[in-house]
Amino acid sequence: MIRGAWIVFAKEVKDNLRDRRAVAMALALPIIAPLASSLTLVFGAREEMKAWKEPLVVSITGAEHAPDLVSFIAAQGIAKKAPLAVPEEAVRKGDEEVVLVIRAGFADAVRAGDPAPLEIIADKGRRKSERALRRLKSALDAYGATLGSVRLIARGVDPALLQPLAVEVNDLATKEARLAFLLTGLPMFLVLAAFLSGLYVAIDTTAGERERGSLEPLLLNPVPRAAFAIGKLAAVTLFAWLGLLCTVLGFLIMPHVMPDDLGDLPLRLDALTLARMWLLLLPLALLASAIQVLVGTLAKGFKEAQASLSYLSLVPMVPGMIVAFSAPEPTFWLMLVPCLSEQLVMNAWLKGMSVPAGLAATSLLATTTLALVLAFFTVRRFSSDRFL
Amino acid sequence: MIEVTHAAKSFGAVTAVRDVSFVAKDGEVTAILGPNGAGKTTTLRMIATLARADHGEVTVDGKSAASEPHAVRASLGVVGHSVGLYPRLSAREHVEYFAALQGLSKQACAERCHTLFRELDMGAIADRRAAGFSQGEKLKVAIARALVHDPKHVLLDEPTNGLDVMSTRAVRDIIRRFKDAGKCVLLSSHVMQEVAALCDRIVVIAHGVVRATGTPDELRALAGKSDLEDAFVSIVTPEPTR
């Protein structure tokens, strides 16, 4: 039995290592995932920085009503542009990022000490417009604060009285966005690697074997049917584990070859953390392989297997979405859900938080159990009379 | 010796084999001859333990295919209808894979490869990958791997189907050599010339039923025709009412 499984395993590994497509599939994510991550991070950060350094030119309607305001915001790096006929239209089309409209009554209201009306036309749905809006708004707020202080002083009141809090905003928007991207993206890529690395081998050794017509002669050999199932499953799992290892190594190298520094992010991306993540994902890769071999043996041919398994590979994305949007804390019950538990634990590890050993073990055990149950069904499927 | 006694096999509502009985002796080449859909492949599959007979019995050297499939398989070499090869493995690796599964030692396997490759004239393709093999070369690999454990019985399902003249001759030579070695060879075919040239005994089946059994001469006498093809046609028709 073990001998038979070993022979099948050795043959499938040799056979599939010679298959460019199988190897490409196993290496695709290890190369793509870290590359895509670092490119997203680098370009995302660069764009943000550039946007704040560039002068912002805003079309102002009714600038003549508030010359003080216009010169104040100009000092903040926001230049004036001629008014437009239909500013709403220009913003909606994206020709203008934001437009400032100063009404005729502005000067009178300021003089009377009433709230002076100002209108900003923006399209918050667009990133650039949203960014310009934030900049313009903060400049206007500064002007308003200055104006208010002057009025208070004129009435003999200390403006500090109206500022009970001294809030200093350290803008972490970019930093946080990068961190959030890595915290959800990295675990998801790793889970995806567990599902995709062995996919091609799974199809080739099951549905492919059937389609080639080599299944029947193979099963005529005097080896228990279970040995074939186990040997094939082991070969698929090996590819999944190796693909996963390469992906982990890719993420280990990534920070060192990226042009931008990740050093200031509160993120644990060291060798030890990544090694622990690899170990955590081994049972998940086994689970993925068991599902793939089972589905592959149920399919009549390569294409049928490929179609069903492609959809199946999207399933692990669902927990990724949950992690991204709600980020629940790892709890016992969540640890029972394969894919979700691994992503939650990895998420915590990346943040440098410690996960109770019991919880990580629960995740390992739950996923392993499910993987073994599926492997059992695969073995039974191979042994059934109707298999051929 | 292969014995099939009143074997029957249905797939759902379709009856592939209704009632087939015959004996294939050692040292002889026995042919199952019949038109397409007569039940030839199903009969061979029942012997090969790939399908279980609904009724009747199939034995190989007295061992039942139903109750002792492992023992039966060990004494059979089966070359199926479709010659499924692994395109990325060489001819030798195909044989080595099956030898290992048959439990042969490395050395026994090497010796067996040597013999088989010589007998099947496969020296030129032994270490080439199967991807570009011709139909005849593929069949040789399939025969070599099926016979790696030197089985006493050889089943061949339409072995010369799709082969050119040279390859057909080569395969016939191989079959004769099996016979000379004392093996029990059972093949299915719908090609008269082949059966006439090769076989000691012919089992004619149509619609899942044995119509006649005998040597080529006996069949000619039975049908009162001098040509075997005519004899075959007259035995197979008229069709029975279902």
Question: Which of B122, B151, B180 represents a domain boundary (last residue)?
Answer: B151
Check pLDDT > 90 for residue A347.
Answer: no
Are residues B147 and B157 both part of a single domain? Answer: no
Find all residues with CB under 8 Å of A319, minimum gap 6, and list them: A191, A337, A339, A340, A343
Are residues B61 and B167 both part of a single domain? Answer: yes
Report which of A285, A297, A95, A312 is spatially closest to residue A198, judged by C-alpha positions.
A285
CATH code: domain of residue B207: 3.40.50.300
| Chain B residues in contact with A11 (beta carbon < 8 A) | 89, 97
Check pLDDT > 80 for residue A180.
Answer: no
Give me the residue from A18, A217, A221 closest to B80, CB to CB: A217
Q: How many domains in chain B?
A: 2
Q: Is B12 within 8 Å of chain A by CB? A: no
pLDDT digits (tens, 9 = 90+) for A35-94: 777 777 777 666 666 666 677 888 888 888 888 888 888 887 888 888 888 888 888 888
Q: Is B66 within 8 Å of chain A by CB? A: no
Q: Is B78 within 8 Å of chain A by CB? A: yes
Q: Residue A50: what pLDDT?
A: 65
> Highest mean pLDDT range out of A49-63, A262-276, A321-335, B128-142?
B128-142
Could B101 and A8 be called an inter-chain contact, meaning their C-beta atoms sit closer than 8 Å? yes
- Residue in chain A nearest B51 by alpha carbon: A385
| Section A318-342 average pLDDT | 80
Are residues B104 and B49 both part of a single domain? Answer: no
Are residues B69 and B157 both part of a single domain? Answer: yes
Are residues B167 and B238 both part of a single domain? Answer: yes
Could A222 and B73 be called an inter-chain contact, meaning their C-beta atoms sit closer than 8 Å? yes
How close is the nearest chain B Cα to the Cα of A306, in Å?
A: 19
Could B103 and A222 be called an inter-chain contact, meaning their C-beta atoms sit closer than 8 Å? yes
With beta carbons less than 8 A apart as the criterion, state whether A369 and A363 touch.
Answer: no
| Chain A residues in contact with B81 (beta carbon < 8 A) | 213
Check pLDDT > 60 for residue A172.
Answer: no
What is the pTM assigned to this prediction?
0.77
How close is the nearest chain A Cα to the Cα of B74, in Å?
A: 6
Give me the residue from A7, A214, A219 closest to B85, CB to CB: A214
Q: Is B83 within 8 Å of chain A by CB? A: yes
Are residues B203 and B167 both part of a single domain? Answer: yes
Please indicate whether residue A129 or residue A263 has the higher confidence score (pLDDT).
A129
Chains A and B form CB pairs within 8 A to the count of 62
| Chain B residues in contact with A3 (beta carbon < 8 A) | 103
Are residues B233 and B191 both part of a single domain? Answer: yes
Q: Residue A147: what pLDDT?
A: 84
Domain with B110 in it? 82-151
Are residues B28 and B95 both part of a single domain? Answer: no
pLDDT digits (tens, 9 = 90+) for A350-386: 888 888 888 999 999 999 999 999 999 988 888 876 6
- Between helices A225-257 and A20-53, what is the axis angle to 10°? 30
Are residues B166 and B208 both part of a single domain? Answer: yes
Query: Bridge partners of B22?
Result: B4
How close is the nearest chain B Cα to the Cα of A305, in Å?
A: 19
Give me the residue from B81, B86, B98 closest to A15, CB to CB: B86
The ipTM of this complex is: 0.86
Per-residue tokens: A258: 């990226």
Check pLDDT > 70 for residue A156.
Answer: yes
**How far apart, in whole angstroms, are the C-alpha atoms of residue A109 and residue A106?**
5
Contacts 24+ apart (CB under 8 A), A9-13: A9/A230, A9/A231, A9/A232, A9/A234, A9/A235, A9/A238, A11/A231, A11/B89, A11/B97, A12/A201, A12/A205, A12/A231, A12/A232, A12/A235, A12/A236, A13/A235, A13/A238, A13/A239
Are residues B23 and B120 both part of a single domain? Answer: no
How close is the nearest chain A Cα to the Cα of B128, in Å?
A: 14
| Chain A residues in contact with B88 (beta carbon < 8 A) | 15, 18-19
Question: Which of B151, B169, B202 represents a domain boundary (last residue)?
Answer: B151
| Chain A residues in contact with B84 (beta carbon < 8 A) | 209, 212-217
Question: Which of B123, B151, B179 represents a domain boundary (last residue)?
Answer: B151
pLDDT digits (tens, 9 = 90+) for A210-255: 998 898 889 888 888 899 999 999 999 999 999 999 989 888 888 7
Are residues B139 and B111 both part of a single domain? Answer: yes
pLDDT digits (tens, 9 = 90+) for A118-143: 888 888 777 778 878 888 888 888 88
Are residues B143 and B206 both part of a single domain? Answer: no
Each residue's pLDDT expressed in tens, for chain B with a length of 242 residues: 999 999 999 988 888 999 999 999 999 999 999 888 888 989 999 999 888 889 999 999 999 988 988 889 889 999 987 788 999 999 999 999 999 999 999 999 999 999 999 888 888 899 999 998 988 899 999 999 999 999 999 999 988 887 888 888 888 888 999 999 999 999 998 877 778 888 999 999 988 899 889 888 888 787 777 777 777 777 777 655 44
Question: What is the b/e burial string over A55-69, where b = at least 16 CB atoms within 10 angstroms of the residue's CB?
Answer: ebebbbbbbebbeeb
Report which of B79, B88, B76 is spatially closest to residue B140, judged by C-alpha positions.
B79
